Chain A
Amino acid sequence: MIRVLLFGAAADRAGTREIELPLEDGATLAEVWSLLAERHPDLVPMRDTLAFAVNGEYARAEDGVSPGDEIAVLPPVSGG
């Protein structure tokens, strides 16, 4: 399993801040996203605006993830 954290508008649309997803061997972040989008279809319209982090660092869709990783779904940042 992997833990997926959602923030800001993504947490709002999904209606949750945290979700656990089953992980297949050799999965990529893109595959994690597909699973997440299936369970929370309200996130789909945001896809092009979202960034992802794996274990606290920005990551790309093709990057691999491992069991125990913490994935974060990051809407456009708006600090300041």
Chain B
Amino acid sequence: MFAIVEEPLDVGALIRDAQRPDCGAIATFVGTTRIDESEGAVVEYLEYEAYRPMADRKLEEIGAEIEGRWDVGHVSIVHRLGRVDAGEASVAIVVAAPRRGPAFEASRYAIERLKEVVPIWKREVWSDGYVWVGSQVGSREGDSAKP
């Protein structure tokens, strides 16, 4: 399953969907929101947006790349949009394969590739402003584009 959703991710359901009699391994990667601190300020939450349907299609392309490179039985990549609070999952990747090596390698590949090519953006909302991650554009002290 390749999906971009607005609701909390149900990682357990994704793992259950990946269970197959011909696979002996399921590797799961879950990206969760981390609370960073700097100079007395903290991240309050993250907010994600995507360019759809390009982002949906790019997730499917990553799935096809994985199936071309590794012996896998099932691949799911699900990314959440909107506000994601501390410790909640923003992305879940589940790969089932006959053997653990390809399951680990393919799940690692999926998250690295997602971070390279899928048009999704993250905004950190701090107690003293916000920052678009990757662009360093925002309203915190020190941003050259501060309004």
Contact = CB atoms under 8 A, between A and B. Distances in A.
B120 interface: yes
A55 B137 CA distance: 26
Given A56-B53, A78-B120, A9 B132 contact: yes
Given A7-B121, A8-B123, A78 B134 contact: yes
Interface residues of B, number: 31
Interface stretch (B8-16, B17-25, B97-105, B108-116): B108-116
A74 B84 CA distance: 22
B28 interface: no
B135 interface: yes
A36 B53 CA distance: 23
Given A74-B119, A78-B120, A56 B135 contact: no
Interface in A39-72: 42, 45-46, 49, 53, 56-58, 72
A8 B16 CA distance: 34
A12 interface: yes
A13 B137 contact: yes
Contacts of B79: 79-80
A80 B50 CA distance: 12
Contact of B51 (A7, A9, A13, A49): A7
Contacts of B116: 77
Candidate in A9, A56, A74, A79 with the most chain B CB atoms within 10 angstroms = A79
B142 to A, nearest CB: 15
Contacts of B132: 8-9, 12, 75, 78
A9 B111 CA distance: 22
B118 A79 contact: yes
A46 to B, nearest CB: 7
Interface of B: 31, 48-51, 53-55, 57, 79, 90-91, 111, 114-123, 132-135, 137-138, 144-145
- 8 A-B pairs closest in CB distance: A79-B120, A8-B121, A9-B135, A76-B134, A9-B137, A9-B132, A78-B134, A78-B133
